[in-house]
C-alpha cells in the first residue's frame, strides 16, 4: 500500500487536532473529530489500505496526547463502543427460547455476536501496523495507570487483557539466549529492564553474560527486539548464598564445565502492559530444558531470590519478634548491641532499623538465628488472603519449587536491606517433586520446604 497515503492522512489528523493536543483536554471539536475516527474504525469498512490508514491515524492521535487527553480517548472507546445492552438482552431472550430446539446453535451464535463489543474491532485494527502489538501493550500500560482514577476504563482493560493473553500465548513465544554478541540495542534493553539487581555499567552487563553465565528471554514475533521476560543464570559448583559474590565483576571466571548447579538469580518482566499475562513459569521450564541439553553436567536447579515484602510484613505483624527471638537470643544480641537498649524481643526492631548493624560482625552473627526464624515463619505461614504473602514465593511455590535454604546477609545493598534485612532464599526445583509440590500448594496451600527451613519455622 502507499506509505504516502498514510503520511498524508496523519498530516490531516494533525491539522484537525491542532498543534499541541497534549497541552490540555481535547476541545469539543477535537473530541468530535476523534469520535468520528473511532466510528470509522469500529465500522470496519474498506480493505487493508483503509484499515491501516485508520489505525495509523488513531495511533498518531493517541501518541500526541497527554494523560488527560489519553484518558478521554480511552474513556470514549470504553463507554461509547461497548456492546448494546438492548441487543444483548434481545439475543439472550431468543437464545433462552431456542434451548433444546434446532435453532439453539443459531441463537447462540447471534448472542455471541451481540456480546462482541465494537471496542474489540477498534483494538484489533492496530495489528495492521508494523509495531501495532507493541502499541497495544503500551496502551494497556497507560490503562493500568489511568484507571485508578477512572473506573470507567476497567471494562476496556479487561477486554484488552483477554486479547493480549491470547496473542501472547506461550505457544507463540520464542526462547532465545542472549549473549555479549547480541545486538547492542537488545543489550541496552537488558540494562533498562533489569528489575531485581540493577545493572550498573557495561562491565557489569558483560560479567553477567560471560562464559559461566547464561541469559534467556522470551520474545513475541511481532516484538522481535523487545524481551518480554528474561532470566539471568549463574553456573556454579554448589548452592549460592550471596548475590554480591555472584555480581562481583572482579571475581575469577568459573569453569562452566565443572559447574553442577544452575542458579537463577534474577527474573525480570519487562512490559508493564502485560501484567496478568503469565509466562514466567514456562520460561523457567524451557530454560531448564535448554541447560540440561547444552550443559549435561548440571544436576541442581535453584534460585537465589529476594524476599521483597519481609521487612514491611515484620514491622506490622504483632508478636512476630517474640516468636522469632528466644530470650537467649535477645540476651546475646544485647551483649553486642552497641548503644541500643535491648531488653525484650521488640527492641530488636530498633537495632535492625539502623542498618549499621551489618558492619559489626559479632552483632550480625548474634542476630542471624532470630532473623532466620523470622524469614522461615514468613515463608511458611504469612498469608495474603488464602495466598502466600510474598509475591516471589507465590511464583516459585506455584511452579513446584521447594524452599531450600534461607541466607542471612545475602544482599546487603540498600534495596536488600530495605526489603528483607539483607536476607535471600534459595528455591530448589527438583524435577521428580515439582508436580506433587504444585498440587499440594495449589489445592491445600502446603508450602514445600526443606527440613532445616521447616524446623526454623517451627522451633
> What confidence tens digit (pLDDT) does each residue in 244-298 have?
999 999 999 989 889 999 999 999 999 999 999 888 788 999 999 999 999 999 9
Each residue's pLDDT tens digit, 47-75: 777 778 888 888 988 988 899 999 999 99
What's the whole-model pTM score? 0.86
Q: Which residue is associated with the grid cell 510474598?
A: 390
C-alpha–C-alpha distance, residues 46 and 51, integer Å: 7
Each residue's pLDDT tens digit, 204-229: 999 999 999 999 999 999 999 999 99
Give CA 318 to chain center in angstroms. 30
Confidence of residue 421 (pLDDT cuts 50, 70, 90): very high
Kindly state the cell numbers that stand for 171. 505457544
Q: Roughly what angle, to the nearest 10 degrees, separates helices 280-294 and 391-398?
A: 60
Confidence of residue 25 (pLDDT cuts 50, 70, 90): low
Q: Is the pLDDT of residue 102 over 60?
A: yes
Write down the CATH number for the domain with range 3-82+117-167: 1.20.140
Confidence of residue 418 (pLDDT cuts 50, 70, 90): very high
The pLDDT of residue 26: 75
Terminal Cα distance for the chain, rounded: 72
Answer whether 3-82+117-167 and 171-303 agree in fold: no
Catalytic, 278? Answer no
Catalytic residue among 268, 305, 336, 420: 305
Q: What is the b/e burial string over 419-432, where b = at least 16 CB atoms within 10 angstroms of the residue's CB?
A: bbbbbbbbbbbbee
Strands (E), 51-210: 174-177
Query: Which of residues 12 and 72 earns the better pLDDT score?
Result: 72
Domain positions in the chain are 3-82+117-167, 171-303, 310-458
Contact 404, 426 (CB under 8 A): yes
CB atoms within 10 A of CB 196: 17
Confidence of residue 387 (pLDDT cuts 50, 70, 90): confident
Catalytic residue among 197, 336, 396, 420: 396
Q: What SS3 class is residue 250? A: coil
Each residue's pLDDT tens digit, 179-196: 999 999 999 999 999 999
C-alpha–C-alpha distance, residues 440 and 417, integer Å: 32
Domain 310-458 has CATH 3.40.630.150: yes
C-alpha–C-alpha distance, residues 218 and 209, integer Å: 17
Contact 55, 125 (CB under 8 A): yes
Angle at 193 between CA 188 and CA 199, to 5 degrees: 70
Q: Is the pLDDT of residue 21 over 60?
A: no
State what percent of residues in the chain have pLDDT above 90: 72
Catalytic, 365? Answer no
The pLDDT of residue 125: 86
The pLDDT of residue 11: 53
What average pLDDT does the chain have?
90
Q: Is the pLDDT of residue 117 over 90?
A: no
Write down the CATH number for the domain with range 171-303: 3.40.630.150
Strands (E), 376-441: 383-384, 387-388, 402-407, 424-429
Please say whether the dihedral angle defined by the alpha carbons of residues 430, 386, 311 and 394, taken in this order, is positive or negative: positive
The pLDDT of residue 22: 44
Strands 213-219 and 174-177, bridge-based pairing: antiparallel
Confidence of residue 20 (pLDDT cuts 50, 70, 90): very low
Confidence of residue 142 (pLDDT cuts 50, 70, 90): very high
Amino acid at each position: 500500500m502507499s506509505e504516502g497515503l498514510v503520511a498524508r492522512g496523519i498530516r490531516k489528523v494533525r491539522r484537525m487536532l491542532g498543534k499541541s493536543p497534549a497541552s490540555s483536554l481535547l476541545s469539543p471539536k477535537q473530541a468530535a473529530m476523534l469520535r468520528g475516527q473511532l466510528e470509522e474504525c469500529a465500522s470496519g469498512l474498506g480493505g487493508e489500505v483503509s484499515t491501516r490508514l485508520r489505525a495509523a491515524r488513531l495511533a498518531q492521535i493517541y501518541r500526541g496526547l497527554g494523560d488527560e487527553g489519553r484518558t478521554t480517548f480511552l474513556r470514549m472507546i470504553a463507554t461509547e463502543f461497548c456492546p448494546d445492552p438492548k441487543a444483548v438482552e434481545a439475543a439472550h431472550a431468543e437464545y433462552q427460547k431456542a434451548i433444546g430446539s434446532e435453532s439453539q446453535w443459531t441463537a447462540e451464535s447471534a448472542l455471541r455476536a451481540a456480546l462482541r463489543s465494537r471496542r474489540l474491532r477498534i483494538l484489533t485494527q492496530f495489528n495492521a501496523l508494523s509495531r501495532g502489538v507493541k502499541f497495544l501493550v503500551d496502551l494497556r500500560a497507560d490503562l493500568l495507570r489511568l484507571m485508578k482514577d477512572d473506573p470507567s476504563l476497567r471494562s476496556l482493560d479487561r477486554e484488552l487483557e483477554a486479547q493480549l493473553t491470547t496473542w501472547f500465548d506461550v505457544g507463540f513465544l520464542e526462547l532465545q539466549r542472549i549473549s555479549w554478541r547480541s545486538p547492542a540495542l537488545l543489550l541496552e534493553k537488558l540494562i533498562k529492564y533489569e528489575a531485581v539487581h540493577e545493572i550498573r555499567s557495561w562491565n557489569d552487563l558483560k560479567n553477567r553474560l560471560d562464559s559461566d553465565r547464561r541469559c534467556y528471554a522470551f520474545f513475541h514475533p511481532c516484538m522481535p527486539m523487545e524481551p518480554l521476560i528474561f532470566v539471568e543464570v549463574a553456573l556454579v559448583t554448589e548452592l549460592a548464598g550471596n548475590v554480591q559474590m555472584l555480581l562481583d565483576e572482579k571475581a575469577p571466571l568459573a569453569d562452566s564445565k565443572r559447574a553442577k548447579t544452575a542458579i537463577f538469580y534474577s527474573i525480570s518482566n519487562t512490559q508493564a502492559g502485560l501484567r496478568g499475562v503469565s509466562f514466567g513459569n514456562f520460561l523457567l521450564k524451557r530454560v531448564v530444558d535448554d541447560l540440561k541439553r547444552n550443559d549435561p553436567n548440571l544436576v541442581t536447579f535453584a534460585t537465589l531470590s529476594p524476599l521483597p515484602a519481609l521487612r514491611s510484613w515484620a514491622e506490622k505483624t504483632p508478636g512476630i519478634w517474640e516468636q522469632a527471638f528466644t530470650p537467649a537470643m535477645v540476651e546475646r544480641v544485647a551483649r553486642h548491641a552497641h548503644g541500643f537498649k535491648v531488653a525484650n524481643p521488640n527492641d530488636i526492631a530498633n537495632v535492625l532499623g539502623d542498618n549499621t548493624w551489618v558492619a559489626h560482625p559479632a552483632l550480625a552473627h548474634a542476630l542471624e538465628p532470630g532473623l532466620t526464624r523470622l524469614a522461615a515463619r514468613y515463608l511458611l505461614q504469612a498469608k495474603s488472603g488464602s495466598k502466600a504473602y510474598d509475591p516471589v514465593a507465590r511464583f516459585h511455590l506455584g511452579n513446584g519449587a521447594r524452599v531450600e535454604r534461607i541466607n542471612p546477609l545475602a544482599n546487603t545493598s540498600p534495596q536488600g536491606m530495605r526489603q528483607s534485612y539483607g536476607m535471600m532464599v534459595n528455591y530448589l526445583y527438583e524435577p521428580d517433586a515439582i508436580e506433587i509440590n504444585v498440587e499440594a500448594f495449589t489445592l491445600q496451600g502446603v508450602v514445600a520446604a526443606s527440613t532445616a527451613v521447616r524446623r526454623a519455622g517451627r522451633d
